[in-house]
Chain A
Amino acid sequence: MLFLAFRHLISRKKQTFFILLGVTLGTMVYIFVSGMQLGLREFIIEQLVENDAHLKVSGREEWIEPPAMAEALFGPNKVVSWFVPPAGKRDEERILYPQGWIERLRRTPDVAAYSEQMVIQVIAAKGAVKSNATLVGVVPDRQRQVTIIEKYITDGRYTDIGQSGNRVVVGDGLLKKMGGRLGDTLLIGGTGSKPTPFKVAAVFHLGVQQFDDNFIYGALRDVQQLNGTPGRITHIAVRLYDVTQAASLANYLSVGAADKVQSWDQANQSFLQLFQIQDLFRIMITVGILVIAAFGIYNVLTIIVNQKRREIAILRSLGYTPREIMSLFLIQGLAIGVVGAFFGLGFGYGACRWLGIWGENFSGHFKLTISYEPSIYVTAFAMATLSSLVAGLIPAVAAGRMTPIDIIRQEG
């Protein structure tokens, strides 16, 4: 029946072309939108995962509770009435037993590397310009094993932070805001500590505004000294051999721990929810386009089946079975789906390549990430083919059910 099916398609060039165009467009849009969205997602995840940590141990946040305060101030079993009840966060965030965690992480086989961090909120100033910032104190050699921030250094060298010496690596957004550049000195002061001069030893650009406009990296010892808390750490950043195990390991390490353990995905739930909305949006657009294309196939095949009633009658009288008649029309729907999907894959890939090149030229050193994940192409192909098959099925079954005598009688 292949021969006849293709002859049918070829003989109706215009109709075939327009249905093919619908399937091609549907497939192409899916690939293009998916490539862009998943590329952006891969980029964001890379920033989140590779520049921060696969999982992070941090001091548990403790909150002031009036009963506990009453007991601490007035002794047990006292009834205290507050005019203004005490509230707010208790003390600073810190890991109580860092050495215990380090021992535990060393013994955990999934852990590839770890790095102690001291994270504090500071005010950075250059001349009269001041800006809030997050200062991360790190041990540079260990931090290099946990994140790939070194890859995003645009000026200077990451290792110039050293073990101490008040040198920092600053996000380019923050530096730009302050009118600074490599080699300049910034005055950095924490809450309750006096501003201390730090030299800009390197500049990074991650492409994530949250980091580029706010973050400063310095030596752990310098940050501890600035904060007046020598030996204290607030976080331990951990890198795993397998990032997909982050959430389950975080849950495992949390059991019975006084400190908070969070995997990168647990810490960035809002991003993941955004991805889910993106997925839904992408699927809705594509399903919409493919449904329109499928309706096109359905309508055209239904019209053709009605137009070809006499041919169906003659084929049946020549010994072609109902199943063969059904396959004649099903093949046409499927052929449109497969060919349209292939064109869609090609054009979709081309559009992604073009966007990638355009993105690279457009924004200089920042490369727009496009995903070429094979699953996008497999899904696009499967969706186009399946929708065409389903669309072709109803008229094909109707054609298969027609009996020659009924057709001849109706046609008169």
Chain B
Amino acid sequence: MSIQVTDLSKSFGDPPHKVLHEMSFEIKNGEYVSIWGRSGSGKTTLLYILSTLDSPTTGQILIDGKNPNTMSVQEIHDFRNHSIGFIFQFHYLLSELTALENILLPVRKTGEHEALQDRALEMMSLFGLKGLEHRLPSQLSGGEQQRVAIARALIRRPRYLFADEPTGNLDSKNGEIVMALLKEANQTWGTSIVLVTHERTYAQQAHRRIELIDGRLASHDAQISL
């Protein structure tokens, strides 16, 4: 179980402008990897390709041995629903749903929202959201909203969690809380985490750090044994 990236590059526009240059690396199962670099270095583009939301221009990506680009629409959506969790810089909670309903959104698709309600409540308690179950996103603080978004990403205990600047909109206290939750998810449930950040201190909390400069793999730490 791993994500294997081989000679991956990505271009945009006409004439094509390359934003990611041939890169190869591997993220192992249960690994906590941070992708670090300056703004415009291509880290978010790389994250979207790794998380199946986007596809590379050339090169290949294999997740658990499967190429997402050759999957059918149904397969790719099932894969996203069951194996992948997302955390974006903005929480992207559905404003009409309560905190609890937002957390249960991925499992509602498969009709498991009632069966997994206790798990959602446990997670809310673990994430310091107890008592906020029936509040709408507009009635929560920014930190609480992001914690609800993390709980939503983890409700299915996915194998992979992709986080795009999850602390970008938070103060340092709430940023620390979010980072602690990511670490706990990795340690408790063995979730592989790919974190995109431009903050060196948060990047250093990962097992391994991939640094991008102008779309090129500048350096990456040695793979640690898990």
* A313 close to B (CB within 8 Å): yes
**B71-104 interface with A by 8 A CB criterion:** 73-74, 77-82, 84, 86, 88, 90, 92, 94-97
Report B-chain residues with C-beta under 8 Å of the C-beta of A3. Answer: 108
* B17 close to A (CB within 8 Å): no
Report the separation of the CA atoms of residues A317 and B86 in the bound assembly, to the nearest whole angstrom. Answer: 7
Which of A49-57, A209-217, A318-326 contacts the other chain? A318-326
Query: Separation in Å of the B46 CB from the closest CB of chain A?
Result: 13
Taken residue by residue from 115 to 138, chain B's Cβ proximity to chain A (1 for < 8 Å, 0 otherwise) reads as 000000000000000000000000
**B26-77 interface with A by 8 A CB criterion:** 48, 51, 53-54, 73-74, 77
Contact present for A318 and B105 (CB under 8 Å): yes
Partner of B81, one of A4, A318, A405, A408: A318
Of listed B78, B79, B88, residue having the most chain A CB within 10 A:
B88
Contact present for B106 and A319 (CB under 8 Å): yes
Report the separation of the CA atoms of residues A316 and B109 in the bound assembly, to the nearest whole angstrom. Answer: 11
* A404 close to B (CB within 8 Å): yes
Partner of A318, one of B74, B80, B90: B80
Contact present for A8 and B106 (CB under 8 Å): no
Query: Separation in Å of the A312 CB from the closest CB of chain B?
Result: 10
Residue of A nearest to B92 (CB): A314
Contact present for B109 and A324 (CB under 8 Å): yes
Report A-chain residues with C-beta under 8 Å of the C-beta of B80. Answer: 317-319
Query: Separation in Å of the A315 CB from the closest CB of chain B?
Result: 8
Report the separation of the CA atoms of residues A173 and B133 in the bound assembly, to the nearest whole angstrom. Answer: 77
Report A-chain residues with C-beta under 8 Å of the C-beta of B96. Answer: 4, 7-8, 10-11
Report A-chain residues with C-beta under 8 Å of the C-beta of B86. Answer: 314, 317-318
* A260 close to B (CB within 8 Å): no
* A311 close to B (CB within 8 Å): yes
Report B-chain residues with C-beta under 8 Å of the C-beta of A181. Answer: none
Report A-chain residues with C-beta under 8 Å of the C-beta of B77. Answer: 316, 319-321
Report A-chain residues with C-beta under 8 Å of the C-beta of B54. Answer: 405
Q: A314-B92, A317-B80 are in contact. Are A408 and B48 (CB under 8 A)?
A: yes
Report the separation of the CA atoms of residues A318 and B161 in the bound assembly, to the nearest whole angstrom. Answer: 12
Contact present for A319 and B73 (CB under 8 Å): no
Contact present for A321 and B97 (CB under 8 Å): no
Contact present for A319 and B81 (CB under 8 Å): yes
Partner of A319, one of B82, B90, B97: B82
Residue of A nearest to B155 (CB): A318
* A310 close to B (CB within 8 Å): yes
Query: Separation in Å of the B94 CB from the closest CB of chain A?
Result: 5
Report A-chain residues with C-beta under 8 Å of the C-beta of B108. Answer: 3
Report B-chain residues with C-beta under 8 Å of the C-beta of A10. Answer: 96
Report B-chain residues with C-beta under 8 Å of the C-beta of A4. Answer: 94, 96-97
Residue of A nearest to B78 (CB): A319
Q: A7-B97, A314-B92 are in contact. Are A321 and B74 (CB under 8 A)?
A: yes
Query: Separation in Å of the A22 CB from the closest CB of chain B?
Result: 23
Report B-chain residues with C-beta under 8 Å of the C-beta of A318. Answer: 80-81, 86, 105-106, 109, 152
Report B-chain residues with C-beta under 8 Å of the C-beta of A315. Answer: 105
Of listed A315, A322, A405, residue having the most chain B CB within 10 A:
A405
Query: Separation in Å of the A340 CB from the closest CB of chain B?
Result: 21
Contact present for A11 and B81 (CB under 8 Å): no
Report the separation of the CA atoms of residues A310 and B137 in the bound assembly, to the nearest whole angstrom. Answer: 14
Query: Separation in Å of the B129 CB from the closest CB of chain A?
Result: 19
Q: A7-B96, A319-B82 are in contact. Are A405 and B106 (CB under 8 A)?
A: no
Residue of A nearest to B152 (CB): A318
**A1-21 interface with B by 8 A CB criterion:** 3-4, 7-8, 10-11
Report B-chain residues with C-beta under 8 Å of the C-beta of A319. Answer: 77-82, 84, 106, 109
Query: Separation in Å of the B111 CB from the closest CB of chain A?
Result: 11
Report A-chain residues with C-beta under 8 Å of the C-beta of B90. Answer: 310
Query: Separation in Å of the A317 CB from the closest CB of chain B?
Result: 5
Query: Separation in Å of the A331 CB from the closest CB of chain B?
Result: 14
Contact present for B95 and A11 (CB under 8 Å): yes
Report the separation of the CA atoms of residues A67 and B123 in the bound assembly, to the nearest whole angstrom. Answer: 108
Contact present for B53 and A405 (CB under 8 Å): yes
Residue of B nearest to A310 (CB): B92
Query: Separation in Å of the A412 CB from the closest CB of chain B?
Result: 10
Query: Separation in Å of the B97 CB from the closest CB of chain A?
Result: 6
Report B-chain residues with C-beta under 8 Å of the C-beta of A404. Answer: 53
Taken residue by residue from 321 to 336, chain A's Cβ proximity to chain B (1 for < 8 Å, 0 otherwise) reads as 1101000000000000
Report the separation of the CA atoms of residues A314 and B90 in the bound assembly, to the nearest whole angstrom. Answer: 11
Contact present for B48 and A405 (CB under 8 Å): yes
**B170-201 interface with A by 8 A CB criterion:** none
Report A-chain residues with C-beta under 8 Å of the C-beta of B84. Answer: 317, 319
Report the separation of the CA atoms of residues A10 and B94 in the bound assembly, to the nearest whole angstrom. Answer: 14
Query: Separation in Å of the A286 CB from the closest CB of chain B?
Result: 33
Report A-chain residues with C-beta under 8 Å of the C-beta of B51. Answer: 317
Residue of A nearest to B73 (CB): A321
Of listed A3, A8, A315, A321, residue having the most chain B CB within 10 A:
A321
Would you mind naming 19 contact pairs between A and B with Cβ atoms under 8 Å apart? A3-B108, A7-B94, A7-B96, A311-B92, A314-B86, A314-B92, A314-B94, A317-B80, A319-B80, A319-B106, A319-B109, A320-B77, A320-B81, A320-B109, A321-B74, A405-B53, A405-B54, A408-B48, A408-B88
**CB-CB nearest 10 A-B residue pairs:** A319-B81, A314-B92, A11-B96, A319-B80, A7-B96, A318-B106, A405-B54, A321-B77, A319-B77, A317-B86
Please report A residues at the B interface, Cβ cutoff 8 Å. Answer: 3-4, 7-8, 10-11, 310-311, 313-322, 324, 404-405, 408
